[in-house]
Structure 1
């Protein structure tokens, strides 16, 4: 059989095998995939890709391999439905990242989740100030679930006819123990001012500071290694 025809045949067989097992294993949105789902998907996809183009590998061997991976995935899914401890071990558990406006750094460290990721995901939720957050939870699929404080969601300042406070972006001034000098010019401050603000909060070593930012109302938000 012509080499190209063999590849076409193997690709078609692999396609329908993958389609069949995917339907059996269940469906999830890409954004809902856990690390376990992601690894399984990548591995099975790699096996299928190898079978489509590598004539040195028997297609029967590839089908057996895909079958074993798929059946193991189905088996583990069934077991984890009934065993919460095993489910948490495989998929990990949600982690509380912000509690009442305070960042819990030890949980961020456990998830290898940095301040840049946190601030980006908060902005994606239209949250620009950490102090506006009641609770933020990092889900097993990597998404951040955010509950704003009641005063930030109940009514608008227009509803109450209240003068609106100054708005804008939080300016990062310290990140991972380093002063961001280029950002200080945005708020017309210098490094000496930063150190004095830290000292006023009993922080003597800047290397203990994971993040510090200045809000438009000039409040300073600080996250330390001991948060």
Structure 2
């Protein structure tokens, strides 16, 4: 029984780091920005992970152990980020300047897999009509964009980001 539980822990560790790598590679989309396909893909991936970790073992012990390993690894990553700030670039990413002096930085937009249309839509949601009004825009590690206009103040998102027709 002990060997099976240890195998479950090893499987959970491997799958945890695999999922971490996949989410880092997928990009900085937040849950509210996922397409329907991406959302379904992540749900299916969750089921596949469960099967891969527990080998179709439906016992409560295996479920608790697998979730416990994921929780401990999540806490370990959080502790590492807090204790060693230099690791944040690897574990969470770094903010990226995507607009400088009103001009989108096409190379960075491509590397972050963000379209100019998405950038413009995000600017509109912050009440910015024209990117020329933006001194700098930064794609944050959480997937949101911070806009700083020529007035020197960050543009807060409006209360109701939906356009009035």
In the alignment, is residue 74 of structure 1 matched against residue 93 of structure 2? no
Note closer, same or farther for the CA distance 1:46–1:77 as it changes in structure 2 (3 Å cut). farther
Q: Whose helix fraction is larger, Structure 1's or Structure 2's? A: 2
- Runs (4+) off by over 4 Å: none
Alignment match, 2:91: 90
The whole-number CA distance in structure 2 between the counterparts of 1:151 and 1:136 is 12
Greater share of strand residues, 1 or 2? 1
Q: Secondary structure at the match of 1:65?
A: helix
For structure 2, the residue ranges without an aligned partner over 5 or more in a row are 1-30, 33-41, 155-165
Distance 1:124 1:101 in 2: 17
Per the alignment, in what secondary structure is the counterpart of residue 137 of structure 1?
strand
Root-mean-square deviation over aligned CA pairs: 3.2
Contact 1:132–1:152 at 8 Å: present in 2 too?
no
Considering only CA atoms, is the larger Rg found in Structure 1 or Structure 2? 1
Residue 12 of structure 1 is matched in structure 2 by: none
What is the alpha-carbon distance in structure 1 between the residues aligned to residue 43 and residue 73 of structure 2?
15
Output the CA distance in 2 between the equivalents of 1:151 and 1:79. 34
Name the structure 1 match of 2:135.
134
CA shift for structure 1 position 57: 1.0
Q: Secondary structure at the match of 1:142?
A: coil
Q: Quick one: higher RCO (CA 8 Å, sep 6+), 1 or 2?
A: 2
Match of 2:117 in 1: 116
Q: Deviations 1:128-178 (Å, cap 9, x if unpaired)?
A: 10100011101111111001112899xxxxxxxxxxxxxxxxxxxxxxxxx
User: TM-score, length-normalised on structure 2?
Assistant: 0.58
Gaps of 5+ in 1: 1-29, 32-40, 154-227
* Alpha carbons of structure 1 residues 73 and 151: separation in structure 2 relative to 1, 3 Å: closer
* Residue number in structure 1 paired with 2:151: 150
Q: Report the number of matched residues.
A: 111
The answer to whether the 8 A contact 1:96-1:137 is kept is yes
